[in-house]
């Protein structure tokens, strides 16, 4: 979302930014001592030595060799040489924001966690969104899972809710995680393709892992192509425990529900955006916060009594399964608001270290084998990436409460510990720091009774691999289902090994025969005679013990799984392109723009040339972009303004016609002034517009023509609120 350029420049603008009020919270204050602003300050070294000349290295004469004794050069160059830490193995490309979480009602019935019982205090948070497979330099619009990690800086220490925008995962046991990531990453012989799953090694692995079937449906769905990080759900994926003050345990699934609804882009559109603006999601998040359109999400909990652990036809500890909201409704218990962008991307977004093991009293783990493995993996990763065991001392990772323990030294230690004692128990130091009793808030792991043999096995309750994949597919609207078919056909079409394609068709056959038939048709392959049953089993295991089982009584459909049922009552922060040219009708432009802006949308004027247009009444109107710098894929809707000369110019402007064709192809709302119909006449889709322009027709087709009055703008707002008109996609598919 582009910001309107400020008329103030240079020092004046910088001073204004410094003086502008900033959201204050405990975490903002705790970072203050670590925050540096160079305005008005003198240059010095990392030891504080004032620097007289930072422009010339020390030499033997003005043309002589540089001298080894130039410690100023060595410090500057050494720091530069080491300014990049190793990027994350997964979730390397991300963007973050500060915010606050406010609880709606105390949850003492379920948990003793302080921040989930205090409705008065705003808990500071830092959220990092990310893609999974790509490197730091990859596109925001890759077909991929999105990370949604939230660090709560609570009064009892940090709680990290490390999740994704999909509620399930590809594998059931963490020991398979390296295999999954090795398979989806660029192939090791040629480092191709970047940030894409459409290649042989990924589908080779997936076709041998039936447990991945459910997650594949999500990854091939529109959920893998969010319109914005502000318009996607978040999920904790795993089943956790909540523990109340009496020690009673409940199972819980964590959700984030965006108040703007859940929306996506089209696959063709995503590919275009990757070329036009690979920072699309990152820019959208930054601009939304800078403009005051703060992203908001509600925290939802699915709470399951411990006595209901075995009530369902799936295992709560299986991360390839979700709990349908029809069985356990989501309770919305609080709101997350992202209200401040980072001051420094590296220091905050890049160095923030999340860990699924960062919990607080009242929240605990279950025996989910994927969760258990991640408890090790996160620490191990941060030790390598951030240089050692003191990564928690980096300002963005520090809790807002003081830290006292006997851990000492190591790389990058920042705390200066005083005194003789660094062990416990001790008498010399009065036995400080002291352990905290459970009754005083000390963390105690849930006392779960365990009686079992040590063995490398998986419970049979984990063996239903296809019921929920089928549930997800059956819950999609027709357009969403069509997109899944197209995605699978595209991805498998990139697979060069025919045997992998055929084996994957066998997996799809177990999900839904119609789905498998459609994909096979697109690949020009025959369906296999029998479904695939290949999967990894222990070397000495019995294959019969590892065959997929079919759960009884599985839901046929879940409304919550379709994006068609999301919030569609707002255009807040939507981005609308207003196409115009010299000779435009200034009055109608003002009416439409004012109405959209009043509803929280952003309107950008696009014209053949930059800077401004001269309207029919000789007024000059500022233009935001030209057709050369703008693209329809960067907007949510289009309005074509009227005016005799402007309309003639747009009709003859090939880029304007392409802009409209592409917007129509991607099923976006299109509105046209009643005297601008000839512009539409130049498009490919002009003959496909319905002749009936009733409200029902408009809200079915997403095309509006009329005079810029109140009725017109009201209908336009309602139309944009629908987001997309996917139903026109197949019957009215056009080239663009």
Binding site for heme, by residue number, is 88, 128, 177, 374, 378, 385
**Could you count the other beta carbons within 10 Å of the beta carbon of residue 139?**
22
Using alpha carbons only, what angle is made at residue 537 by residues 509 and 380, rounded to the nearest 5 degrees?
Answer: 110
**Could you count the other beta carbons within 10 Å of the beta carbon of residue 664?**
28
Is the N-terminal amide bond of 115 cis, ω within 30° of 0?
A: no
- Helix (H), strand (E) at residue 703: strand 703-706
Separation CA 164–CA 217 (nearest Å): 15
**Could you count the other beta carbons within 10 Å of the beta carbon of residue 38?**
7
Are 172 and 462 in contact by the 8 Å Cβ rule? The answer is yes
What order of strands is seen across the sheet that includes strand 637-640? Answer: 625-626, 602-607, 575-579, 637-640, 670-673, 703-706
Q: Which residues contact 115 (CB under 8 A, 6 or more apart)?
A: 101, 103, 121, 123, 152, 154, 155, 156, 159, 360
Based on the residue annotation, tell me whether 98 is a catalytic residue of this protein: no
DSSP string computed for 183-206: HHSPBTTTTB-TT---SHHHHHHH
| Exposure class string for 514-526: b at 16+ Cβ within 10 A, else e | ebbebbbeebeee
**Is 683 exposed, middle or buried, given 0-12, 13-18 or 19+ CB atoms closer than 10 A?**
buried
Separation CA 147–CA 127 (nearest Å): 10
430: left (phi over 0), alpha (psi -120 to 50) or beta: left
- Tokens read off for 464: 């239903």
Q: How many CA atoms lie within 13 A of 69 on its CB side?
A: 3
Give strand pairing partners of 75: none
Based on the residue annotation, tell me whether 44 is a catalytic residue of this protein: no
Radius of gyration of the chain (CA): 29
Separation CA 438–CA 527 (nearest Å): 60
Active-site residue among 91, 263, 355, 483?
91
How far is Cα of residue 7 from the mean position of the Cα atoms in its chain? 33
Are 334 and 574 in contact by the 8 Å Cβ rule? The answer is no
Between the CA atoms of 498, 502, 504 and 510, what dihedral angle is there, to the nearest 10 degrees? 180
Separation CA 684–CA 731 (nearest Å): 14
Active-site residue among 117, 164, 165, 272?
164
Residue with tokens 């309207």: 615
Are 584 and 615 in contact by the 8 Å Cβ rule? The answer is yes
Give the annotated binding-site residues.
88, 128, 177, 374, 378, 385
Separation CA 419–CA 440 (nearest Å): 26
Is the N-terminal amide bond of 224 cis, ω within 30° of 0?
A: no
Separation CA 117–CA 124 (nearest Å): 15
Catalytic residue numbers read: 91, 164
């Amino acid at each position: 979302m582009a910001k309107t350029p400020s008329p103030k420049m240079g020092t004046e603008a910088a001073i204004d930014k410094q003086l502008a009020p900033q959201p204050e919270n405990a975490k903002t204050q705790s970072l203050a001592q670590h925050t540096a602003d160079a305005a008005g300050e003198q240059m010095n070294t990392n030891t504080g030595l004032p620097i007289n000349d930072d422009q010339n290295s020390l030499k033997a004469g003005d043309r002589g060799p540089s001298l080894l004794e130039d410690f100023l050069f060595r410090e500057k160059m050494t720091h530069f040489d080491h300014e990049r830490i190793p990027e994350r193995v997964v979730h390397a490309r991300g963007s973050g924001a500060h915010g606050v979480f406010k609880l709606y009602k105390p949850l003492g019935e379920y948990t003793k966690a302080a921040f989930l019982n205090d409705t008065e205090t705003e808990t500071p948070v830092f959220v990092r969104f990310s893609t999974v497979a790509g490197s730091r330099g990859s596109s925001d619009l890759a077909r991929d899972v999105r990370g949604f990690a939230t660090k709560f800086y609570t009064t009892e220490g940090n709680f990290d809710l490390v999740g994704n925008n999909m509620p399930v995962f590809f594998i059931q046991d963490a020991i398979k995680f390296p295999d999954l990531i090795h398979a989806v990453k660029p192939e090791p012989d040629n480092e191709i393709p970047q940030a894409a799953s459409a290649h042989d090694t990924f589908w080779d692995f997936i076709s041998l892992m039936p447990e991945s079937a459910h997650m594949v449906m999500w990854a091939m769905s529109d959920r893998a192509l969010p319109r914005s990080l502000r318009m996607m759900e978040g999920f904790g994926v795993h089943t956790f425990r909540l523990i109340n003050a009496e020690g009673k345990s409940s199972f819980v699934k964590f959700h984030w529900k965006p108040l703007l609804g859940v929306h996506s882009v089209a696959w063709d559109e995503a590919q275009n955006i990757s070329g036009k603006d690979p920072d699309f999601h990152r820019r959208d998040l930054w601009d939304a916060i800078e403009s005051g359109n703060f992203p908001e999400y509600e925290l939802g909990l699915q709470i399951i009594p411990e006595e209901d652990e075995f009530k369902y036809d799936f295992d709560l500890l299986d991360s390839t399964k979700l709990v349908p909201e029809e069985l356990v409704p989501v309770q919305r218990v609080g709101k997350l608001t992202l209200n401040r962008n980072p001051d420094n991307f590296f220091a905050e977004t890049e160095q923030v270290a999340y860990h699924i093991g960062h919990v607080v009293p009242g929240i605990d783990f279950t025996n989910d084998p994927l969760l258990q493995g991640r408890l090790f993996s996160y620490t191990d990763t941060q030790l390598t990436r951030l240089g050692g065991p003191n990564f928690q001392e980096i300002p963005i990772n520090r809790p807002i409460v003081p830290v006292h323990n006997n851990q000492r030294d190591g790389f990058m230690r920042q705390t200066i510990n005083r005194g003789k004692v660094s062990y416990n128990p001790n008498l010399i130091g009065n036995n400080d720091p002291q352990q905290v009793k459970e009754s005083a808030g000390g963390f105690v792991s849930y006392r779960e009774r365990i009686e079992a043999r040590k063995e490398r096995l998986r419970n049979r309750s984990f063996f239903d691999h296809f019921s929920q994949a089928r549930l997800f597919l059956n819950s999609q609207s027709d357009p969403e289902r069509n997109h899944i078919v197209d995605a699978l056909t595209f991805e498998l079409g990139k697979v060069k090994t025919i045997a992998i394609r055929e084996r994957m068709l066998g997996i799809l056959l177990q999900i839904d025969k119609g789905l498998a038939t459609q994909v096979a048709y697109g690949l020009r392959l025959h369906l296999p005679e029998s479904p695939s049953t290949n999967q990894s089993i222990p070397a000495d295991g019995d294959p019969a013990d590892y065959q997929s089982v079919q759960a009884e009584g599985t839901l046929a459909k879940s409304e919550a799984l379709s994006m068609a049922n999301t919030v569609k009552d707002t255009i807040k922060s939507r981005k609308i392109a207003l196409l115009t040219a010299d000779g435009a009708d200034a009055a109608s432009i003002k009416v439409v723009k004012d109405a959209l802006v009043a509803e929280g949308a952003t309107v950008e004027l696009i014209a053949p040339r930059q800077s401004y247009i001269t309207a029919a009444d000789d007024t000059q109107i500022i233009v935001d972009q030209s057709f050369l710098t703008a693209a329809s894929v960067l907007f949510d809707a289009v309005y074509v303004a009227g005016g005799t000369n402007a309309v003639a110019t747009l009709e003859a402007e090939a880029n304007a016609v392409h802009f409209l064709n592409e917007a129509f192809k991607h099923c976006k709302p299109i509105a046209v002034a009643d005297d601008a119909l000839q512009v539409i006449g130049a498009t490919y889709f002009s003959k496909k517009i319905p002749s009936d322009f009733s409200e029902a027709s408009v809200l079915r087709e997403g095309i509006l023509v009329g005079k810029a009055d109140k009725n017109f703008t009201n209908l336009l707002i309602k139309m944009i609120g629908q987001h997309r008109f996917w139903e026109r996609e197949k019957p009215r598919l056009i080239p663009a």
